Amino acid sequence: MKRIDLDDLPPKLAALLTSVEPGEEVLLVQNGAVAGRLTGGVPEAAAADAAPTSEAEAKEIFEQFRSIMEDEF
């Protein structure tokens, strides 16, 4: 996956990219020809993986976090 750091871009371009709605496309044009497309939003698979699927899984994640914090401090 390629990465674009918005801090490295001009403010107007960074604002345009962050305002893209899920599913909306940004057409990249160079010298009058289409150079690429960007589609806004998070892929459905990644969004499903980001949220815990059950209360038990959420508890397990919290316990792991608590354990790490106790080990560090």
Q: From residue 51, how far is each of 55, 57, 64 by CA, in Å?
A: 11, 10, 16
- For the whole model, what pTM was predicted? 0.48
Residue 16's nearest CA partner among 42, 46, 1, 38 is 38
| Residue ranges of domains in the chain | 1-41, 44-73
pLDDT in tens, the chain (73 residues): 788 888 999 999 989 888 888 888 999 899 999 999 888 886 555 555 566 567 777 778 777 777 777 776 5
